[in-house]
Copies of this chain bind each other. A is one copy, B any other.
Amino acid sequence: MTAQTLDVVTIGNALVDVLAKTDDAFLAAQDIPKGSMTLIDEARALHLYAAMGPAIEVSGGSAGNTATGVASLGGRAAFLGKVRDDQLGAIFTHDIRAAGVAFDVAHAVAGPATGRSMILVTPDAHRSMNTFLGAAVDFGPDDVIEAQVQAAAVTYMEGYLWDSPSAKAAFLKAARLAHAAGRKISLTLSDPFLVNRYKEELKDFVEKHVDIVFANEEEVCGLYDAANFDAALQAVRAHCEVAALTRSEKGAVIVAGEEVHVVDAAAVDKVVDTTGAGDLFAAGFLFGLTNGHGLYDSGRIGALAAAEVISHVGARPQLKLAELVTAELGASQAKRA
């Protein structure tokens, strides 16, 4: 059996975030559904970019953010995804490697440019994402670095990949590889609209392949057509070994068979930009699980990591999360289950 040299390998769309402040009137004028991720083509991307205000560029992408979170916590992380050999691709590659994440997938030398997500942040700190996938759609089974998947305690994937057939095929390959190596598979449902687009496929995939599922309230209710959060919780616990269900400021509920934990949200002085909250919750939770913490403490680490990332602009940690967690969890951090 391959030695376990990685805690988490994440698979997802390699994207650079283009972040700008805006207001609700601009979202309405541009027909942008608030709080969701909308896929856009290149023409729409150019139109929207011309209409929006000055921006800053920060490396992003849901699974990439999660990998940097794991590394920031002191975990061993790798990322699988696709950029082109262009300036944005060089930026993405630099940032994720500089954060301590292994990123060894070959860059595309032809085809669309590196993908980007135009993220519009309203004064209430909500983010509305408009994503041009670019080179990310060409991520496929050949890009899955088998040795990394076999060496990682958990392979984590973002549901967003479902929008690309070749990425979905890569997904399934990674799931098979991981399970054959005795590892765990984890999936985040990513977005309520995505859940609606691929409901039956996702439900089937969760039931058959996923050990640890992440979802927010709206996503998990959508997946099971549940009338309320509790009904969704009962449905998902029958399908997965572990489900980590997040509810923004209401905290999270972790279910694993008979075991259920309620984890409060960590305090935040001022919520600036919610981009990356779910990604960093997943990072903290998976770091905890793969480093010997119990479900409750893993949830608390997730909540702390999420609180840090929503207190500033950008979806990757600015503080060394390992120090934050040690300071906040104190003795319980030292205690390994």
Contact = CB atoms under 8 A, between A and B. Distances in A.
A50 interface: yes
A325 interface: no
A57 B318 CA distance: 15
Contacts of A87: 86-88, 113
A177 interface: no
Nearest to A314: B56
A198 interface: no
Contact of A316 (B50, B54, B96, B316): B54
A21 B319 CA distance: 10
B54 A95 contact: yes
A42 to B, nearest CB: 13
Nearest to A68: B54
Contacts of A53: 98-99
A56 B54 contact: no
Interface residues on A, range: 20 to 34
A contact patch SS: mixed
Nearest to A84: B87
A260 interface: no
Contacts of A91: 55, 57
A58 to B, nearest CB: 5
Given A21-B318, A318-B21, A54 B98 contact: yes
A169 interface: no
B88 A50 contact: no
A97 to B, nearest CB: 8
Nearest to A312: B313
Given A55-B94, A55-B95, 11 more contacts: A50-B94, A53-B98, A53-B99, A54-B94, A54-B95, A54-B96, A54-B98, A56-B57, A57-B91, A87-B87, A87-B88
10 interchain residue pairs of minimum CB distance: A57-B57, A87-B87, A54-B95, A54-B98, A56-B58, A53-B98, A54-B99, A87-B88, A56-B56, A86-B87
Interface of A: 21, 49-50, 52-59, 68, 86-88, 91, 94-96, 98-99, 113, 314, 316, 318
